[in-house]
Structure 1
Amino acid sequence: MNNKNEYIERIQIGFQTAIHKMQPKMTEQMNKHNITATQFFVLMYLRKNESCKISEIAEYMGVKPSAVSFMIDRLEHSNFVYREHDKKDRRVVNIMLSEEGQKKLDLVIKERKEIFESSLLTLSDEELLQFALIAEKLAKAVTTEI
């Protein structure tokens, strides 16, 4: 096995192990806030895009609009999002993150960061910098492939 394949295998195993160990904490934290991983994903998408249609969310997630509509109903019931008719075309309904949704999202992100920090504090400052650079490069590479 050449070095590159060996390194990739070690990275894969390392990521799988780390995720496996962090996942229960993440799930517990999300459950505490009554948010599913998919709802978190949608709230993050709304924060990034400010406003979007159900069809846009469905396309991004690769699911049917009816599934997203049901999820938006639940998020709206929790006051995390709201629907607003488009000013130019009243037939279009935009989904937007509410102030309460933004606060909840900020809290969940803060707590998720704390979970990551507890795992990453074993790294030196130099290792953290290198890991951050590599993670950013990897994220960019994966984004362009999709």
Structure 2
Amino acid sequence: MENDLNDFTNRFRTTFELAHRKISQRVLAELNSELTAPQLFMLAMISKEQTPKQSQLAEKLGVKPSAITVMIDRLVQSGHVIRKHHETDRRIVLVENTAEGAAVLAKATEVQKKVIASGLSQLPSDELRIFVSAFEKFTTSY
């Protein structure tokens, strides 16, 4: 049983990583943008956190603030993000997606949905129900 679990674990990891890579590649290719996958992820994090502090992003991603600063610098230069100071404490630097950043993120989200739907449509409906239910169960198990 333990060997089976190890085998399934390895197969799952390999397949999950491959699926993630393929989806990202297709989204980036169809998006036709100069942004990288990590930059798109950063736009999504900024959107989700709603004008976060740079330090908050670093903490969430488990990286040093200097790593976030470099990525935010690039997103500011490309016009996808702006920095602004907190209203009451000017030492706090907040980041926010620009209209251009929000638009490219919305487009990326739609392309991602389309790519995933295309893959899922390859499964017969009974397998699709099982697959999605099992994946939902897996993600709520820890």
TM-score normalised by structure 1 residue count = 0.78
The 3 A distance-change label for structure 1 pair 20 and 51 is closer
Unaligned runs of 5+ in 1: none
CA–CA distance in structure 1, aligned partners of residues 14 and 67 of structure 2: 33
The code of the aligned residue for 1:114 comes to K
CA–CA distance in structure 2, aligned partners of residues 119 and 137 of structure 1: 20
CA–CA distance in structure 2, aligned partners of residues 139 and 82 of structure 1: 34
Aligned partners of 1:58 and 1:64 also within 8 Å? yes
Q: Determine if the alignment matches structure 1 residue 121 to structure 2 residue 121.
A: yes
Q: What is the deviation of 1:124?
A: 2.9
Q: Percent identity?
A: 33
Q: What is the deviation of 1:112?
A: 1.6
The code of the aligned residue for 2:62 comes to G
What is the aligned residue count? 141
CA–CA distance in structure 2, aligned partners of residues 46 and 21 of structure 1: 24
CA–CA distance in structure 2, aligned partners of residues 17 and 77 of structure 1: 31
The code of the aligned residue for 2:136 comes to E
Q: What is the deviation of 1:108?
A: 0.8
Aligned partners of 1:83 and 1:96 also within 8 Å? yes
The code of the aligned residue for 1:105 comes to L
Q: Tell me the residue number matched to 2:26.
A: 25
Q: What is the deviation of 1:57?
A: 0.9
Q: Tell me the residue number matched to 1:101.
A: 101
CA–CA distance in structure 1, aligned partners of residues 35 and 89 of structure 2: 32
Aligned partners of 2:23 and 2:112 also within 8 Å? no
The 3 A distance-change label for structure 1 pair 127 and 42 is same
The code of the aligned residue for 1:92 comes to I
TM-score normalised by structure 2 residue count = 0.79
Q: What is the deviation of 1:22?
A: 4.2
The 3 A distance-change label for structure 1 pair 86 and 58 is same
CA–CA distance in structure 2, aligned partners of residues 118 and 14 of structure 1: 17
CA–CA distance in structure 2, aligned partners of residues 86 and 21 of structure 1: 39
CA–CA distance in structure 2, aligned partners of residues 138 and 118 of structure 1: 22
The 3 A distance-change label for structure 1 pair 139 and 36 is farther
Q: Tell me the residue number matched to 1:35.
A: 35
CA–CA distance in structure 1, aligned partners of residues 118 and 80 of structure 2: 28
